[in-house]
Structure 1
Amino acid sequence: MLGHLAGRWTSLIRTALLVEPLLYHALRRAITGISDKSLAATLRSLQHDGLSRAEDRPWTTGPRTSARRARSKPPSPFA
């Protein structure tokens, strides 16, 4: 997990996801210079470690998935 925090693209991706969830191509446009391969690999790695999650967006036209920064702890069921 420490390797993710020191990764070249990890901090840029996590910063971009702070504000709002982004579609893959919007995230790619927000981070200049990142290749498709690097973005996909970094997102997969962050999702695997629970630092990011993918959300399906069925209400949009065509299949779309957005990336969202994972919460530090799950929301309380009593909130």
Structure 2
Amino acid sequence: MKRKVLLIGWLMVASVVSAQSWSLDDCMKYAVEHATDVKRETINARQRKQDYQHAVAAFLPTVAGGVQGQYAWG
């Protein structure tokens, strides 16, 4: 009895989920958004951009300074 109720419930959920119709554009958008290769390349592109910015910043001159003082009381 428990199996029958579980099977009927699963079929009802599956029918509700499959009732949504997707257009080709929707399928393509979903595939691009959830593709691991696309995500990996996005992360790699960000990393390359950041590496480039660090390399350019390494060519800039650096400035260092300090202040020193002495006080005598008396």
TM-score by length of 2: 0.22
Q: Which has the higher contact order (CA 8 A, sep 6+)?
A: 1
Instruction: Say which structure is richer in strand.
Output: 1
Structure whose CA Rg is larger = 2
Instruction: Say which structure is richer in helix.
Output: 2
